[in-house]
Structure 1
Amino acid sequence: MYSYTYDEETGGLLLNSSPTGFSKEPRPVYASELDLYGFDKYWRYAKQNDFPYMWAEANRYWYRGKLVAKLKGGNLHSPPEIIIPVNENGEPISPEQNGNALRQIDVTAMVEANLDMLEILEQTTVKKILAIYEKYKDKLDLFHVAYSGGKDSAVLLDLVKKALPKGSYVVVFGDTGMEFPDTYDLVEKTRQACEKEEILFHVARSHLKPEKSWELFGPPSRVIRWCCNVHKSTPQTLKLREITGKNDYTGLAFVGVRAHESAVRAEYEYENYGKKQRGQYSHNSILEWTSAEVWLYIYANRILINEAYKKGHSRAGCLFCPMSIKKADFVKRMVYPREIEMYLELIRKTNGRNFGKDTYITEGGWVSRRSGRDLIGNVMNYSEMLKDDVLNITVTAPKTDWHEWIKTLDGFGHIPYTVRKLSNGYTVQLPTTYIKENPTIGKLFKQVFRKSAYCVKCGACETNCSFGHLKFDVGLKITDCEHCLKCHDIEDGCLAYRSLRIPKDEKSMSINCFDSTLPKNDWFFRFFEQRNSFWDAPGLGPNQVKTFKRFLRDAGLTEKNNFSELAELIERLGWETDTAWGIILTNFAADNPQIRWYVLNLEIGRKYPRDTVISMLLESNSSKNVVKFVYSAFGKLVELPLGTSLRFGFVTDDGDLVRTKCTLSDSRVVLYGLFKFAEKCKDYKEFTLATLLNDSIDRDGISPTRVFGLDREDITPILIGLSAKYPEFITASFTHDLEKITLAEDKTSSDVLNLFKEEHVND
């Protein structure tokens, strides 16, 4: 809520009432962290951890308002490099004059200097918590604080204690089984404190041990994050059902999410329904707090600090997470070597890649896994094949009974399938004519047999069933199914299948389409001004000509190197507009491997450091030269209207790549994207919204939701608007959780472009 400056006198933070902007998330730095990185070679300080010495913002270290050091690089086995800035005379900057020892931050004086603003902050937040409680206290079954052992949830718990009457809420610690040892120490102290205050403290954990789940699913990755469902949301839902005694309970979770933590979380609202957990409310009570305010509140209220922060960790989460950065992995390995080694060994055992196992880990190859292709010994026991207008599904060594899963589809009429037993499984056949007429049921039908083939009883499907009719107590049993289909609302129908599947026909074409040469804005000015004579004019070298021709061809702006009909349209729309580049990006996503890679691999709002991008590219079998070009090309691409008008992404000052939600002023761009998507997917023109939003499905087309970074809340009104305005092109139905989108069979993406030739209308 407040901005901060560094106080030279106390060594602490000083809040002020100017607008916050985006916080740099300062955190206190203790002697343990300084020792870990080797700062004791540069500075003198007492080896105590009761009080911090300075502050860090990401990789920058600040001492009493002065930048005194930076960290660069680092990975699991190598510490980052320490860089000491120099003054105007070229001399290394020293925190203290004459090499004197570092002074501790005067925490007491720092707190005193900020008391007035902290009091306003506390009162404002307490009122928000009390207001949401009063709003729902007679409507919900339960209020609970989602406690993690991190600094934010610790502050949140203290605020809830001040706001709400005793007995009106419980505390639930979601134990993934993969927390820092220091986190478990703090959780136990917190549990004991709650017990003394007569606050019920519960622990939710999966029946699967982490080492077992990593064996069953394969290691999690940035794309395949089964761990969050298996070890977080599922156990917490089961625990809350146990507490309330109701399968269909409705509760509200107080959550310590903060907008300043990431660009994605900056989009969050205080109150939401179903975002954190299906069918449940949550309240992000400290959403607008910065880490500066969190730490000041901790010191002011003498809240117990997780010792992990003092040892150099900026966050207290899972021990070995694919979402962490390489520097963080180094800290974890140094601080918790025995625990980290267990996860390293699990990755080594499952790695089927042909380069060194430790390289696969150190370079981050494991975090980029998109399928089960590279898991050693992984054999598909589910396959699909279309032959003679019949879908053939083969399941070998099934893990659960398909007769149980098929009960979920009993309420949708006769499905003309046949099942034939095999010695180690069975084959299933279903006419493709039925699938085309009933695409939703066709998708669910496939999921029935994926579940049968792969289900490891993780509990995700059970928690999705709010009726309590799906149980794994003694094997799988489904009774009195309500046919709500919520047990199907999981990526690819089954988390284990999603993680272990081996995609068919993986493409090996190079994703390096532009080498080191990218078009510049003035090239486009000249291209649209000179048209076909552009190639006759001097100015571009041979490599530049080659690159620009490829760019224009894949964008659809040339045909056989001649100015295309689409280029005529783009010129009328204004080639620098977001509408023009929305069309161009759609074409690129369909036909350009390099742009497809950015779209498919970079998640919206997340920062991707250079090392992470390189690791991801190496995972896609790219050479080192390709890696360098594809990484650097992103920065040049977003200097075009692709970035400046369409807002496709940007590069941070630290060189991190960031994909952002696109700005679209004309919804017909999405309509064009829908038809291009359908045409790439073998002209299947009827699909569900869930299918449209599901990035994990193995298909040739890329959904416009992925291309433009749109979520359910973004795309739903767009589809409704398009359906109302262009019923001859699209109909969208949103009823009974079966959101269906149908594109006209007699229309094509080219027909959508003809709409743009009409008078421009702002939708």
Structure 2
Amino acid sequence: MWCKTCNRETNNEKCEYCGNITEHDIPLEVFWCKECNAPIIKYANDIDKDSCPSCHATTSYLCADLRPVFPEERLLFEIIQGKPLAYMNNSVWAANNRIYIDGKPFTITKKFYSKLTPEEIYEQLEKYKNQNSYSSFNDNIAKFIELNRSRLHYIIDEAYRFIKEASASYPNERIVISFSGGKDSTVTADLTVRALNDPSLVHIFGNTTLEFPMTMEYADRFRKNNPKAIFKTAINREQDFYAMCEDIGPPARMLRWCCSMFKTGPITRVLNNLYRDKAILTFYGIRKSESVSRSKYNRIEDNAEAIKIQKQKVASPIFLWKDIDIWLYILGEKIDFNDAYRLGYDRVGCWCCPNNNDRAQFLARIYMPEQYDKWHTFLVNFARRIGKPDAEEYIDSGAWKARQGGNGVEAAQDVKIRYTNCTAEDNAKVYQLNSPIDDSFIELFIPFGRIAPELGRKLINETIVVDLKTNVPILSIQPFAQEGYEYSVKVKTMNVAKHDDLQRMVGYQIKKYNACRRCLKCESLCRFGAISIARGTYHINDSKCKRCKMCVTAKYLEGGCMMEKYLKTKI
């Protein structure tokens, strides 16, 4: 156990000195050896952390984590500094907004990126790229691997044990590797294949249609270099990212509707096609140190509230690894990787993700100018449309990334449930609909019980839903003419103890009918594969639905529909 406050090890759940809750993981630290001119990875409680394992010189603390700066990124840094190729023979590393040259830190501020225009930088990159050399870089990496060889062996052995234990109850045919084309999923894939000694495992690549060009190149290369792997690509060909942005607004840090629509949703479809209703184990490249939210995950997770695709249990072999561990493995084991990291990207998800930092945006302006200009123009026009007084400042400052809800977006009206209480019948509400009642609307009530149209009054087109266990009617659904509503439906609850609870869940389904943008979240939520979006319409398969009611429970689906989160407005 480790107390972060007192920076000390203890055997107790609570620190004896300060009283704070302790952590299970001993933190890693990076030290620098001036003699070897390379970083060394140590635990905070290591007795010999101040000594180099090779030359035995005294080392000094450098930082909590570190990544190598490849020659391409180093040249970019030199050009902005006005010193092309100046550090070609130095050992250059980076952590957050700092560059370390032979262990000496240089802080990179936001102003640093504005010294030259992207066009000027690109011109100089082209001018000097043939003179740029990997010779010293390779020597420095070789020394780094030598100094941390024992660490490399340890993390490999520990990951192998974890993978074998996690997969012990699953046949290899039901083991999946989630492959994004990033460094973490690359390492996870390599570890899993080696640990299980099976190169034919299923790899699923989620092509969000917003990938870096280099990610697509790497995915193709990975497929060719691993011919025995079952490599599946998950892609949403039915939706267009820009069209959705026009409709519901661009994604923001807290409003990443794109993840469900273009990543987890398409992956769910591939899994459903491959495995139907079978339980699977998926190895993910998730790491605790990546974000606050991921630090709360478990290394093995099957909690319905925590995982995005319900039919799977997820396991993370590299959960406790730092960036420097990832690069130690990639470079030490000589694994191919995404070339975007050579340019200076520290993450390679969607190139326009609102979670990208200033450096990633800066790099996009240099290496993807056409895509960047198109995206920037769209964002500025969107800001004007929702009434921002200084649209360009709102976008360029990054304030758009903090946007919450659907204020100023016309589609926000669709998540508002409009109803009136029926004056003629108790426990009945008349809901406004955006379109006429059809078969897909009636299907939305399958999670509540058995659809029994034969019990309804045919004269008024009534449909009855009966409880599966008791065969007693619990819902009456009928088209209704209500003043002020172009389309409406009357829903009455019957023979239940809590009418309000059932009506609330009915309201969730009404919201789906009015606001569904085919985000595919519901497909991912249903572990039985009962929910599907076909030809633009939401369907529930009666024979597959187990009536678990997860799709109408706010605990799993806020407001009954993901659009509630993305489009709700402040009053």
Q: TM-score, normalised by structure 1?
A: 0.56
Offset at residue 261 of structure 1 (A): 2.0
**Structure 2 partner of 1:4:** 30
Pick one of 509, 514, 522 that aligns with 1:448: 509
**Structure 2 partner of 1:407:** 446
Is the contact made by 1:78 and 1:330 (CA closer than 8 Å) also made in structure 2?
no
**Structure 1 partner of 2:42:** 16
For 1:136, what is the secondary structure of its paired residue? coil
**Structure 2 partner of 1:113:** 147
Is the contact made by 1:399 and 1:452 (CA closer than 8 Å) also made in structure 2?
no
Distance 1:391 1:38, change over 3 A: farther
Alignment of 1:41-120 (within 5 A): 41=81, 43-45=83-85, 53-67=91-105, 69-73=106-110, 78=114, 104=137, 106-120=140-154
In 2, the alpha carbon distance for the partners of 1:80 and 1:287 equals 39
Alignment of 1:521-600 (within 5 A): none
Structure 1 unaligned residues grouped into runs of 5+? 82-101, 507-763
- The reply on whether 1:306 has 2:373 as its aligned counterpart is no
In 1, the alpha carbon distance for the partners of 2:373 and 2:568 equals 27
Is the contact made by 1:384 and 1:394 (CA closer than 8 Å) also made in structure 2?
yes
Offset at residue 379 of structure 1 (A): 4.9
In 2, the alpha carbon distance for the partners of 1:141 and 1:421 equals 54
Q: Quick one: which amino acid aligns to residue 258 of structure 1?
A: R
**Structure 1 partner of 2:546:** 482
- The reply on whether 1:204 has 2:268 as its aligned counterpart is no
Alignment of 1:347-358 (within 5 A): 347-351=379-383, 352-358=386-392
In 1, the alpha carbon distance for the partners of 2:253 and 2:497 equals 33
**Structure 1 partner of 2:131:** none
Pick one of 44, 65, 71 that aligns with 1:25: 65
For 2:246, what is the secondary structure of its paired residue? helix
Higher relative contact order (CA 8 A, sep 6+): 2
Structure 2 unaligned residues grouped into runs of 5+? 1-26, 47-60, 118-134, 449-464, 468-472
Pick one of 164, 170, 179 that aligns with 1:137: 170
**Structure 2 partner of 1:233:** 264
Is the contact made by 2:236 and 2:261 (CA closer than 8 Å) also made in structure 1?
yes
Distance 1:61 1:467, change over 3 A: closer
Is the contact made by 1:45 and 1:103 (CA closer than 8 Å) also made in structure 2?
no
Q: Quick one: which amino acid aligns to residue 551 of structure 2?
A: C
**Structure 2 partner of 1:438:** 499
Offset at residue 493 of structure 1 (A): 2.1
**Structure 2 partner of 1:674:** none
Q: Equivalent pairs: percent with the same residue?
A: 24
Offset at residue 236 of structure 1 (A): 1.0
In 1, the alpha carbon distance for the partners of 2:314 and 2:77 equals 39
Pick one of 413, 420, 425 that aligns with 2:480: 420
Offset at residue 109 of structure 1 (A): 2.4
Distance 1:71 1:80, change over 3 A: farther
Is the contact made by 1:152 and 1:257 (CA closer than 8 Å) also made in structure 2?
yes
Distance 1:367 1:5, change over 3 A: same
For 1:203, what is the secondary structure of its paired residue? strand
Q: Quick one: which amino acid aligns to residue 72 of structure 1?
A: T
Offset at residue 219 of structure 1 (A): 1.1
Distance 1:399 1:303, change over 3 A: farther
In 1, the alpha carbon distance for the partners of 2:550 and 2:187 equals 35
In 2, the alpha carbon distance for the partners of 1:188 and 1:394 equals 49
For 1:25, what is the secondary structure of its paired residue? coil
Offset at residue 58 of structure 1 (A): 0.6
In 2, the alpha carbon distance for the partners of 1:170 and 1:22 equals 40
In 2, the alpha carbon distance for the partners of 1:216 and 1:371 equals 13
**Structure 1 partner of 2:245:** 214
Deviations 1:670-719 (A, max 9, x none): xxxxxxxxxxxxxxxxxxxxxxxxxxxxxxxxxxxxxxxxxxxxxxxxxx
Distance 1:64 1:347, change over 3 A: same
Offset at residue 314 of structure 1 (A): 1.5
**Structure 2 partner of 1:716:** none
Q: Quick one: which amino acid aligns to residue 525 of structure 2?
A: N
Alignment of 1:360-759 (within 5 A): 360-375=394-409, 379-380=413-414, 382-384=416-418, 392-397=430-435, 401-409=440-448, 410-412=465-467, 413-415=473-475, 419-421=479-481, 425-429=486-490, 437-474=498-535, 475-480=537-542, 481-488=545-552, 489-503=556-570, 506=571
Is the contact made by 2:436 and 2:488 (CA closer than 8 Å) also made in structure 1?
no
In 1, the alpha carbon distance for the partners of 2:91 and 2:436 equals 58
**Aligned pairs, number:** 474
Distance 1:120 1:462, change over 3 A: closer
For 1:106, what is the secondary structure of its paired residue? helix
In 2, the alpha carbon distance for the partners of 1:180 and 1:398 equals 42
Offset at residue 153 of structure 1 (A): 1.4
Is the contact made by 1:395 and 1:453 (CA closer than 8 Å) also made in structure 2?
yes
Q: Quick one: which amino acid aligns to residue 315 of structure 1?
A: R
RMSD across aligned C-alpha pairs, in angstroms? 3.5
Is the contact made by 2:474 and 2:494 (CA closer than 8 Å) also made in structure 1?
no
For 1:145, what is the secondary structure of its paired residue? strand
**Structure 1 partner of 2:225:** 193
**Structure 2 partner of 1:719:** none
For 1:285, what is the secondary structure of its paired residue? coil
In 2, the alpha carbon distance for the partners of 1:397 and 1:216 equals 18
Offset at residue 325 of structure 1 (A): 2.8
Offset at residue 330 of structure 1 (A): 2.2
Q: Quick one: which amino acid aligns to residue 137 of structure 1?
A: Y
For 1:318, what is the secondary structure of its paired residue? coil
Which moves more between the two structures, 122-131 or 385-394? 385-394
Q: Quick one: which amino acid aligns to residue 67 of structure 2?
A: R
- The reply on whether 1:165 has 2:179 as its aligned counterpart is no
